[in-house]
Structure 1
Amino acid sequence: MKTEIILWQQEVIVRKQAEQNVRESEARWRASEERLRLMIEAIKDYAIYTLDSEGRLTSWNQGAARIYGYSSEEILGQNRSLFFTSEDVVRGRPHAELTEALTTGRLSDEAWRVRKDGSVFWANGTMTALLDTAGQVRGFVKVDRDLTERKQAESELRTTIEALQLRDRAIRAASQGILITDPHQPDNPIIYASQGFEQMTGYRAEEVMGRNCRLLQGPLTDAETVKQVRKAIHAGQPCSVEILNYRKDGTTFWNALFISPLRDEQGRLVQFVGVQADVTERRNLERQVQQSQKMEAIGQLAGGVAHDFNNILTVISGYSEILLDNLPSSNPMRSSVKAISEAGERAAGLTRQLLSFSRQTVLEPKVLDINTVVNEAKSMLRRLIGEDVLLTTVLDPRISRVKVDPGQLGQILMNLAVNARDAMPRGGKLTIETNNMELDEEYAHTHVDVGPGRCVLLAVSDNGMGMPPEVKARIFEPFYTTKGIGKGTGLGLSVVHGIIKQSNGQIGVYSEPGVGTTFKIFFPAVEDELTAPVVRGQLKMGFATETILLVEDEHPVRELAQFALQSQGYNVLPAANGMDALRVASTHTGRIDILVTDVVMPEMSGRELAERLRPRLTDMKVLFLSGYTDDAVVRHGILQAEVAFLQKPYTPLVLLKKVRQVLDA
């Protein structure tokens, strides 16, 4: 019995001790839990809250109140789905996260969460399942952190990176060349070169790294422009120039260069950026336009000179012819008068050349086969170039038709043949080719006054001395010649240029010293039928009876024409200008058979005079005279149909034949 009592007492002591231990443990746990609760409650940078197994909030710290905007009184007992966007709620994200945390014991997530005021923020959080001693879920603890600023920073960084990548791709894809140099290193070396630079210069980027930009310079690079660039770089200033640079293969190109200094936020120079554009094509077009304008200005001057000179030559040649007709063959003065007449003819030839390159020649274009003209000219060309030059032709048998003055086309062939002959003093080969061509938009874009379309090519080539670039650049200028004094007028090629331009054609020259020269001429192709040859009747030069209204503002020329016409029997009504002619016509009571008038006169042109007389004199014929043809009677130098025209200078016999021809037409 005593033993049982002792055992019972010991059991009571042990049980009481255990109960005491439990009470102490619970007290410590409650104290620890309270300390944890107070510590969690004090945390403001993190939202820490607990949930029951259904996702309802059971605790809420100050950090959660600050981040989400709810007080504990407002949120406790509410479901966590309040924090999700409507899209996430529809997709079932709140329940899915609880399920995942329950299954795995822990969930980490980043997503947009919603505050009480409806604004959203980027939250990073973890959810941990709380289990009791039996392993049953008592709830969940959730810790969230507001990472909106980091998210925005990441977004801004990503945007910046994308912009830089886009800028880099744009720089790489740009046709302009882009260089970056480092002014803090010796000799300001290149540290970046774009693909555009590689394509423009032929250098690979790795070939130019660490080198100075002067590697693009060469003998023809302008030293003053280089000094301007260096001065700007030394001063840290922007600079814009156009400079002739050299590619890797030695060819040249015009470079529009824009240099800009790059500075940091403190204004300190960091780098130089050079943007380059190949403007060779633009410079070539500008040069073509300038050359065209220069030729036009010289042509206008030469045309005016030729007009005045033709009036003088008309008088000289006219009276020379009259004197020769009236002087006996035995008269010693005949040789002197004949010398005057021959000098007048040579001077007239010179004025015709002046009018040709100034594009003021009267053309009579005909639809023709260019091969026919070449074949007909071969015998003449062979005599012209001599026996030591071989003439060959390569003619396209299916050549298209063109509309050109056949006489002027022959002049072109003759002038180019003479030019080729002079380039081959020891003999050589002259080749004339024809071919059908199609000029594309690119060719038209790079040549002034050229349009795309079908055309006929006439090429004249020699294997002579060729020309250096400085000579080639000036060959079409009037009076420019490389021949010695007395060996050329310098008008041959300028005449060719003028005729071709006046015929709506285009000429280009390709030459290499020691190899030879090729002139390529393009005429627009036409579909019109070939012009039928004109068959003229026998000219009757008997005694005339018709009445002529003669209008000429140059008194000596008018007197000569009046004398020649009256000597043939014509009744001549002279007038000094258009207004004078209207007065004469109004007072004349008889018939006026033909109006013979100068084209260009003060106050009223010959064309205007004819238009004012024609309503009253419906049967009156008209013959226009002029030393040049910039009047509307000859539009752009092309003679209009049914218009009779006589170019000055003329002789009395030529005038009489032309008047008779018009009257009998």
Structure 2
Amino acid sequence: MIQPISLLVIEDNPADTDLIRDTLPPDAEFTFHGADRLSRAIDLLKTEDIDVVLLDLGLPDSTGINTLARFRDAAPDIPVVVLTGNDDPELAMEALRTGAEDYLVKGAIDPHLLVRTVRYARERKYFEQSLRESEQRFRSLVACSVDHIFLLDLDGRFMESNGATEHMGFPVGDLIVGKSIEDVYAPEVARIYRQYFEQVAATRKSVRFEHNLDRQDDERFHTDTLYPVLVGGRLRGIGGICHDITERKNAEDRVAHLNQILRAIRDINQLIVREKDAQNLIRETSRLLVVHRGYNAAMIVLTGDDDLPVSYAEAGMGEAFGPLEENLKKGILPPCCDKAKFQDGAFIVNDRVAVCARCPIAEGCVINDVLCVRLKSDLRNYGYLAVAMDRAKGIDAEEKSLFEEMADDVANALHHIYREKIMLSERAEKEKMEVAFHQAQKMEAVGRLAGGMAHDFNNMLSIILGCAELAISEISPEHPIHYELSEIINAGRRSAGLIRQLLAFSRKQIVSPRNVDLNRIIADQLKMLGRLVGEDIRMEFLPGHKLWSIRIDPSQLDQIMVNLAANSRDAISGTGKISVATVNTSPDQDPGLQQPYVMPGEYVMLAFSDTGGGMDEKTLEHIFEPFFSTKAVGKGTGMGLATIYGIVKQNKGYIQVYSTFGSGTTVKIYFPKVENPDPAEDEKIPVESVSGTETVLIVEDQPQILKLARTILERYGYHVLSAGNPAEAIENCKTYQEEIHLLLSDVIMPDMNGHDLYEKISAIRPDIRVLFMSGHTEDAIVERGILHEEYAFIQKPFSVKVLAGKVREVLER
């Protein structure tokens, strides 16, 4: 519905007012109002919404053009059409200049003219007001912009400028208006601006360019856009936008700098692999750190057991190194190295007055930031590494971390060189290393064999265990074949355990630490350990009262116990006894924990004692060395205690060995105390709670396992979609109309691995959850992007309850 136009006629002659009212066409949408005085009309505006006014300039309380001026002051936004008594062009033009939209001559007004004039007056006023509001909005946007937005005349003087200039080092925006490019910018920047200004003026095409803009605090701004301002096809000025990209530039410079450092680290890592001489290593490392322009200078100082310099190398320092070299020859370390001696990680030299006061090159180092770190490996300090870089680049946490990692690599390389030098010092040690090398080859072969066997065996065991468990769940314990099925399940589980032990031996097992009850695990192992040591050796277990929990992968505990039992068995000649005991303890209760390297806290101690032949002091010095063995050739790998040591250290524990030749051996292992144990895997989710009605998509390239997994989940109530390959799985996701709640996928399949498949499916169905399964070894799984901390994972072979429970666990997250 069209809103009527509210028309106010200000006319003191009633006849003229009536004539105008009668002139309006009957079908015109107007609301008519009249007033015979200017004051009354102004009062009427307070109560009525008036769209257009017809104003007579000769009123009792106001005459002439002043009448129009007074009304415009009272109502500047209402359009006015002036009524004149005669056709006076000069009066009409003066009225238009004073603010009238149009004029009408009394006696010459017809209905069409009247309606058109009134409507046009309102529309012109509306458009003028809209234009003013649009201009105001535009100016507000420009004023609020953080970019400097400006307009130059054709001589290069600022005609307009918003307020975003002061933070760029200019005067406030209004203060640069009227000034030329050369008045505002520094000469070099002004030259660049003038060049591009003239280019835009000549070509009438926009340009974008970057430049450095010095400020008082030496920070820089970089990019401008200039564009032609055309009105009616004619060039009226040059517009511009100055955008601050300092943060982006700094980030790009930072990334470039870190890439230079990474290239240096890459070459250093390659150097570490091939270089066996410590002096060549530090000389080349220093050179690589500088040649890639990651750092301005680098210095490595190697120290002896007394922490005094024994050799050094530098790059990038030139003649400035002379005074520092004299001090090094005198056994004086640079102050930054002295400071780094007591730091954990890299030391950043911030307080130069306090740190560098006695340094002979302090004055030339003022423009640099300095990083210094100890080269420490295996509790031994091999020296110090220091680098200098432009202070403007700064040192952030990422660079500090990269520097520390690189220093660790160099320290480890020095450690290996040191160890190799010691090992090669005597002929006997050299022969021992040759034997160890051949033994390592055999272990690697076993590892490769284990890795290759694990997948196929685990897949077959999944089918054997799964089918047997499904079958036994359908019959009563009294059924004739119940016993046979139970034996199949037990044998399958023992076989799975053998595979895990084989992978543990080759260090390819998937480690999943848990909070465990040590007493419970040992009690479960006693029968197996008894069979391992034989009937002539008696085993006893003394469990500690209310033993605290520890965090470790239970399979690693199996490995520790089997290795200890095997060593004790081989040490006992004839009959004997093995005692296993546990107890809660702490450093103030146990001398074995009263060592400087032991962290404060509470521990659970596992003691493993035997009545074997024991070891002498010389043997004790080497027991944790890889491949060290006192057994006859072919009777042992020499990795038992070395493997135990690695497991203990991996789990933040400590190990002590006490032995006297002829009187047996006691091994004490200390694990940090943790909270209560986790539930056993089969007990995490009760059987009653693992059922569900969600939809699960199973992807497995082995048909038997695919069918088994489908059968298991369907028995627990799930709706199952199955796919024999990734392409079929993706097609199912595209065509299936309902929600798919979970993707259960094998990790390693032809054409596409499970991780890549999940990424493609999650792009189609973002809310889908994922559970990966595999019978492969850990390194094969990690290579394909499956990290246990990020994704839910279940290892083949799995039981029916474990699979159903894991599916429920993932869906409940």
With the length of structure 2 as denominator, give the TM-score of the two structures.
0.36
Which is higher, the Rg of structure 1 or of structure 2?
A: 1
Relative contact order (alpha carbons < 8 A, sep ≥ 6): 1 or 2 greater?
1
With the length of structure 1 as denominator, give the TM-score of the two structures.
0.43
